[in-house]
Structure 1
Amino acid sequence: MNARKLARLGVPSGEAMRLAGTAARDARQMGIPKRDIPGLITAVVENPHDYTDDELFGDLANAILTHQAAQPSFQARSEPAPYRIWGHDLDPNSVEQMENAVRLPVSVRGALMPDAHLGYGLPIGGVLAVHNAVIPYAVGVDIACRMKLSVLDMPLHTLHGEQKRLINAINRETRFGIGAKFSKGQRRDHPVLDEDWRVSPVTQRFQKKAWEQLGTSGSGNHFVEFGVLEVLAEGLGLPLGQYLALLSHSGSRGTGASVASYYSKLAMDLHPELPKQLRHLAWLDLDTDAGREYWQAMQLMGKYAAANHACIHKHVAKALGAKVLLDIENHHNFAWIEEHDGEMVVVHRKGATPAGKGVIGIIPGSMGTPGYVVRGLGNEAALQSAAHGAGRRMSRRQAKKSFTWSEVKKFLRERDVTLISAGLDEVPMAYKDIDEVMAAQTDLVEILARFDPKLVKMAPAGERPED
């Protein structure tokens, strides 16, 4: 058996790996069937004390015990950090992930939003405050995924009367798909390209790719859509009434994903003591070079994600000859240094919207249900956070098995929604009821406006999701 296969069985590198290879070869020479050997080695890895005197596996068992003794042991908090849940009947797996997160020795406090569902490490909809550290997987794979809404000075009848023109503007001015990029003559320009991309070896390596993908939308739950914004309350600087608006959802694309992957692995390598269920919650101390490097890379990806949206909205508006009356935007996969309970902490909002007092944000629904422009109420119990959307109620695989395009098209037609492209894994029925989510967080945000999607584009069916 080679080292890769042995590593998958949980054999530590070094002397234990060498002895495992020797034991596997000896087992074959003794006539043990090849198919049985992985199971035997796994048994030794899981219970080395039972094999210390075994003629075949004794040396391996003792090497594993020596390795384990040399590893730092995990010390959880004496009591879990406090956290609160908003919403009802949340996915038990997401609740379990939150309970794991508040056991970390660096954890201070947490909150779980009503749109919560399963994620890597921290659940989507999870908010976690920690001491002087950052957890790459608690920020998320799509660093600085964000929302942007632009109110345009175009009449509402454009949505139907000039629909083809609107579709052409979206199709021309952004790109969808996991590897979507602009060709050389079409690449966008933005001041973010003049930032220092040498803050991390990852951002430096992928700077050209970031330029190629600047202004693209990606895949998964990312979208660009036109719709009707109804201003319901004062606070946005617009008179009450209905407006045509452009709404987008996407993040830092391939470069952000590469940053997340690199530093998540680094964090896990630095914390071998973490039990399996906490591995994806490995952190980087902000006093270390690795922690500072990730933090700077995350900040750059925040600027880059904002630039993506800026390019999309600028070029779509220009293609339509439209003037922007109002811009609103916010991150929801990021970490901030904030003061809570009189101390400075790092607050991770993974699929959660900043909702400090007076802060304006956007909480979308789905391709066929409304989204809302909200104003934060600054609820400290929620670490001044709110949901970032409706939240999935089923997996992508389950959605593909559960629904057909005929019923989806009927659903959208009844709501006067035209779908340019999307996959069955993103249909409205795969998501929770956005109005129930909003009702569960009336102490976190107040609604200022409602956005109803009318013309929606997402990545075509078959694209690997990157959200």
Structure 2
Amino acid sequence: MVDMKYEFVDVEGGHPIKMWTRGVPVDDGARVQLSKAAQMPFIFKHMAAMPDVHVGIGATIGSVIPTKGAVIPAAVGVDIGCGMMAAQTSLMASDLPDNLEGIRSAIEAAVPHGRSVGRGKRDKGSWGDPQSEITDAWAPLSERFDRITDKYPRFKNTNNIKHLGTLGTGNHFIEICLDTEDRVWVMLHSGSRGVGNAIGSQFIELAKKDMRKWHINLPDQNLAYFPEGTDHFDDYVEAVGWAQDFAAANRQMMMKNVIKALRSQIAKPFDAAMEAINCHHNYVNRERHFGEDVLVTRKGAVRASKGMMGIIPGSMGAKSFIVRGLGNRESFESCSHGAGRVMSRTEAKKAVSIEEHIEDTKGVECRKDIGVLDETPKAYKPIEAVMAAQDDLVEIVHTLKQVVCVKG
């Protein structure tokens, strides 16, 4: 008998869950949340849980939810199309200056990041006046956006074009990394920003209203769904598809501006797209699995079909991995999207001292203040254990370690 890498969990009154979590801690809350989703009648075959699995809002982060005939907006969430981009450069570690502060400052100046709120003030994480390249990148998205806003006018009043090519806050980051051969990489993490948040929030509320209207009882109100064939289903699929494309374009524009910032600090000419990967890890997609057409929602998971390249980052003090998918059909060709949290943001701020954070990010040019303690390395699972638990899902192609990290 073949030794399966996953734990098989039977769910009473629901579909089974296959969990790639050997050697990795999984909190009880995540198991309960996964079981509630597995009870939905339209789950196809089984659900899959990745080794970075932990409790999320709406659905468990690190879960793969295949469905037939329905979609759950809160399972995709509000950071629609959130994902990673990485590009290998022709630079070597020896080409970087001894002091990396200038590179970090140049990146921070080139890419709007963070967030500021206040009546009449511009959010510092948006463009005041978008560059011409941003306007050009917006052009292919604008016609579809107009179609969506004809039905849902509130989406117009979002930082749509002004957020294109911007980082945001939380766990979003830009890093300069070195691989094991001392080659320089640029890696970044962001999604669909304010407009994606507005789209996600609106459709999550519409789904909850529909459930009340149809008197449908749910194990969790965040599992509210749109049945295929309804107007809201079609509208959501159109809007979420657009937001995912916006997120991919957002990462591309950030990457261009980070490369420009690097060129302003390094006199040596270099190539910057020798190997580029741009992948979502919060999204829904139509795919074919086990001979049937299904919708696959990956909430904190990356597609890992055979030969497909992906990115699995660690925390701001840990290794990250460029991987190649092995096409494991039992996981619906998926892998983890990162290390996964072991502490909530609030817990991390209480449990980890600034001294520990400084020690854990030694050798990385990054923020060392209390404002990033919620993202400190100790808040995350050990990335090596996460990778060991999914060695039947992906193979490691490059191992990266950051030397510069920019947080919002």
Q: Shorter-chain TM-score category?
A: 0.7 to 0.9
Q: 2:139: which partner in 1? A: 193
Q: 1: distance between equivalents of 2:12 and 2:34?
A: 17
> Residues 316 and 213 (structure 1 numbering): CA distance in 2 closer, same or farther, change over 3 Å?
same
Q: Deviations over 1:116-173 (max 9, x none)?
A: 1111221000111111221111112200001000112223134443623311331121
Matched residue type, 1:312: M
The answer as to whether partners of 1:199 and 1:296 remain within 8 angstroms in 2 is: no
Matched residue type, 1:292: D
Superposed, which structure 2 residues align to 1:77-96 within 5 Å? 79-88=13-22, 89-96=25-32
Q: 1:184: which partner in 2? A: 129
Q: 2: distance between equivalents of 1:163 and 1:281?
A: 46
Q: Which segments of 5 or more consecutive residues in structure 2 lack a partner in the other structure?
A: 1-10, 116-122, 264-269
Question: 2:59 aligned with 1:122, yes or no?
Answer: yes
Q: 1:252: which partner in 2? A: 192
Q: 2: distance between equivalents of 1:326 and 1:119?
A: 32
Please report how far the alpha carbon of residue 275 of structure 1 lies from its aligned counterpart in structure 2 after TM superposition: 4.2
Matched residue type, 1:243: R
Q: 1: distance between equivalents of 2:153 and 2:323?
A: 33
Q: 2:341: which partner in 1? A: 392
Question: 2:275 aligned with 1:326, yes or no?
Answer: yes
Q: 2: distance between equivalents of 1:83 and 1:454?
A: 38
Please report how far the alpha carbon of residue 185 of structure 1 lies from its aligned counterpart in structure 2 after TM superposition: 5.6
Q: 1: distance between equivalents of 2:246 and 2:190?
A: 11
Q: 2: distance between equivalents of 1:249 and 1:211?
A: 18
Q: 2: distance between equivalents of 1:310 and 1:146?
A: 11
Q: Which moved more, 1:107-116 or 1:207-216?
A: 207-216
Q: TM-score, normalised by structure 1?
A: 0.76
Q: 2: distance between equivalents of 1:301 and 1:379?
A: 28
Report SS of the residue matched to 2:92.
coil
Q: Which segments of 5 or more consecutive residues in structure 1 lack a partner in the other structure?
A: 1-76, 231-240, 460-467
Q: 2: distance between equivalents of 1:203 and 1:105?
A: 33
Higher helix share: 1
Q: 1: distance between equivalents of 2:50 and 2:382?
A: 14
Superposed, which structure 2 residues align to 1:274-313 within 5 Å? 274-275=216-217, 277-313=219-255
Bigger relative CO (Cα 8 Å, ≥ 6 apart): 2
Q: 2:6: which partner in 1? A: none
Q: 2: distance between equivalents of 1:203 and 1:338?
A: 31
The counterpart of 1:369, out of the listed 312, 318, 332, is 318
Superposed, which structure 2 residues align to 1:82-231 within 5 Å? 82-88=16-22, 89-108=25-44, 109-161=46-98, 163-178=100-115, 179=123, 180-184=125-129, 186=131, 188-195=134-141, 196-201=144-149, 202=152, 205-206=155-156, 209-230=159-180
Q: 1: distance between equivalents of 2:218 and 2:293?
A: 29
Report SS of the residue matched to 1:271.
helix
Matched residue type, 2:67: V
Q: 1:267: which partner in 2? A: 207
Please report how far the alpha carbon of residue 388 of structure 1 lies from its aligned counterpart in structure 2 after TM superposition: 0.4
The counterpart of 1:405, out of the listed 342, 354, 357, is 354
Please report how far the alpha carbon of residue 203 of structure 1 lies from its aligned counterpart in structure 2 after TM superposition: 7.4
Matched residue type, 1:336: N
Please provide the CA RMSD for this pair.
2.0
Q: Deviations over 1:177-203 (max 9, x none)?
A: 244101116472343433220342347
> Residues 372 and 315 (structure 1 numbering): CA distance in 2 closer, same or farther, change over 3 Å?
same
User: Which of the two has higher C-alpha Rg?
Assistant: 1
Please report how far the alpha carbon of residue 408 of structure 1 lies from its aligned counterpart in structure 2 after TM superposition: 1.1
Q: Deviations over 1:284-335 (max 9, x none)?
A: 1231211111111111111111111111111221233342122112100011
Aligned length: 371
Please report how far the alpha carbon of residue 208 of structure 1 lies from its aligned counterpart in structure 2 after TM superposition: 6.1
Please report how far the alpha carbon of residue 176 of structure 1 lies from its aligned counterpart in structure 2 after TM superposition: 1.6
The answer as to whether partners of 1:192 and 1:303 remain within 8 angstroms in 2 is: no
Please report how far the alpha carbon of residue 207 of structure 1 lies from its aligned counterpart in structure 2 after TM superposition: 6.9
Report SS of the residue matched to 2:91.
coil
Superposed, which structure 2 residues align to 1:50-69 within 5 Å? none
Q: Deviations over 1:371-398 (max 9, x none)?
A: 1011111111111111100000011111
How high is the sequence identity, in percent, across the aligned residues?
Answer: 35
Q: 1: distance between equivalents of 2:96 and 2:348?
A: 29
Q: Which moved more, 1:105-114 or 1:169-178?
A: 169-178
The answer as to whether partners of 1:198 and 1:204 remain within 8 angstroms in 2 is: no
> Residues 286 and 388 (structure 1 numbering): CA distance in 2 closer, same or farther, change over 3 Å?
same
Q: 2: distance between equivalents of 1:453 and 1:275?
A: 47
Q: 2: distance between equivalents of 1:340 and 1:194?
A: 31
Matched residue type, 1:323: D
The answer as to whether partners of 1:167 and 1:420 remain within 8 angstroms in 2 is: no
Q: Deviations over 1:21-62 (max 9, x none)?
A: xxxxxxxxxxxxxxxxxxxxxxxxxxxxxxxxxxxxxxxxxx
Matched residue type, 1:194: P
Q: Which moved more, 1:99-108 or 1:311-320?
A: 311-320
Report SS of the residue matched to 2:78.
coil
Q: 2: distance between equivalents of 1:412 and 1:245?
A: 18
Please report how far the alpha carbon of residue 82 of structure 1 lies from its aligned counterpart in structure 2 after TM superposition: 2.3
The counterpart of 1:353, out of the listed 302, 323, 327, is 302
Q: 1: distance between equivalents of 2:306 and 2:275?
A: 20
Q: 2:291: which partner in 1? A: 342
The answer as to whether partners of 2:155 and 2:195 remain within 8 angstroms in 1 is: no
Matched residue type, 2:249: A
